[in-house]
Amino acid sequence: MYHLYKFSAGPHDMQLSQTNFIVTSYTGKKEISCMVSGYPPPTVKWMKGNIVLTSTPLNNQFKNGQKLVLDLKQLTIADEGQYKCFASNTVGQILHSVSGILNIQVPSQPSIINITSSPCNSNLLITWKPHVLGVGIKHRFRIVGTLNSSNYRDSFTTPNNVSIRSNVTDLQSSTSYIIKIEPCLATLSTCFSHYATTTLATTGGLPGPVSKPSLNMTYDGSCNVSWSTVMNPEYISDYKLVISSTKAIVSSYYKDDVKMNEMLLPSHITSYVLPKKFNRKYNVSIRARTCAGLGAESMAVGKCATDTNAPSNIQAPSTRGERNSSGILEFSIHVPDETNGPISCYFIIVQVNKTSNTRPDFNYALMSKLNKSEIEDEYIAIALNRTSVGQNRLKISLILGDQIKTRCDISGNNNSGEGYSSKNTLVAYNKRLSLSESYRIFLVTSTPTRESVSFGTSEGLLIGKPFTGD
């Protein structure tokens, strides 16, 4: 049954069977009639826009009494638009006309079925379907960079099948793109943007920079580097780390050194604690690798410098002779390496008649007791400022038993001046050696740290009792 919409103008009337028609899955016959009455009999015609429609096998027009029927068959998106039934006649010398408007919509969207990216190149293979009623109708395929909307590519295709495969090549690797597909007619201005479909895709190929690269201190004073990636982890074979470091605190007597180390970590690892080395300041860069090669370098953001510490190796004092009859012994010490941090003081510790070969732990508490002479038969004999040794000296000759007082500030703050009022100053007295006693002497170093002082100890040099000949 038709719903009649009447229009009157002058001596004739118009009845339009339908003013709106939304095509869904319709593919069969649809008749829209326009009935006009008047005298003289009006001329009636169907128009789409400003174009008079002519009969075709798919869009047939025919007269049925006073009706002009528009017979629409197999509507496609090309048939969408505004149709007009136009009637006119002349009464006397006056032209009378009337029109009825029919709006036809063919709503649907293209659909993207699958997007495939390759880890070894930056191509995208997109499988998609056109507008449901758009086979044979031109479609625009647009790919747009998410970071630069003016950087886009357009291609046009007229699908003759329900499934289309579009291979887009030479894109930027590891980059996100917006894929937009929309049906069009003859020109760009006739694209149906309201029927467009969009989705997001990311290319493979050379991996982009890792995201959120950071460098931080751990609870135990080590350095941890971490990162994440925006790329599919399955594409990544490994990560390449370039670790460079310099001395965190450089001694006044040694040049700084730069150390470089490269390492590869498997793709499932995105955090790594650097092997702990004292007195190092680090910079780390990270690059992801795929079958296409290494991606862009990312520098870890943050600062990490490990604390200073006592030297890793301290040689025991050495001597070529024996103490003389006056209780004097000439000996020498090797200047320890300061890679772990600048040394503030060298101490010569003397133990009297100690039989144990165990190396004592000369920590802050023990050194304080020795400074206060609280331990029997053990004392600080020599306190030597690091500043007094100077540069480029591998060995220092010293005298044991000369009865001279020396002192040194283990914090290193007052060692360049004359005043020794610091609570960190340790005082030494070089007692005369007895010819009837045995001694064990140690070289002890002090290295200031962030919170305290680290003491290092050599093995002990045994000075036995002189042979009497009895």
Check if 111-202 and 213-299 are the same fold.
yes
pLDDT in tens, 18-54: 888 888 765 556 778 888 887 888 888 888 888 888 8
Mean of pLDDT values over 269-287: 96
Whether residue 428 is predicted with pLDDT greater than 90 in this model: the reply is: yes
Residue 351 has pLDDT above 50, yes or no: yes
CB contact at 8 A, 164 and 197: no
Per the omega criterion (within 30 degrees of 0), is the bond before 40 cis? yes
Q: Is the pLDDT of residue 8 over 50?
A: no
Instruction: Give the global pTM.
Output: 0.68
pLDDT value of position 27: 56
d(CA 147, CA 395): 64
Q: Which has the closest alpha carbon to 235: 268, 211, 259, 257?
A: 268
Q: Do 294 and 206 meet the contact criterion of CB atoms below 8 Å apart?
A: yes
Q: Which fold has domain 111-202?
A: Immunoglobulin-like (2.60.40)
How much is the average pLDDT of 139-149? 89
Between CA 238 and CA 299 the distance in angstroms is 17
Q: What is the mean pLDDT of the chain?
A: 86
pLDDT of the residue at 37: 81
158-172 per-position pLDDT tens digit? 888 788 999 999 898
Distance CA 291, CA 430 (A): 69
Per-domain boundaries in the chain: 5-105, 111-202, 213-299, 329-463
Query: CATH classification of 5-105, choosing from 3.50.50.60, 3.40.50.1100, 3.10.20.740, 2.60.40.10?
Result: 2.60.40.10
Query: Is the domain defined by 213-299 classed in CATH 2.60.40.10?
Result: yes
Does residue 7 carry a pLDDT above 80?
no
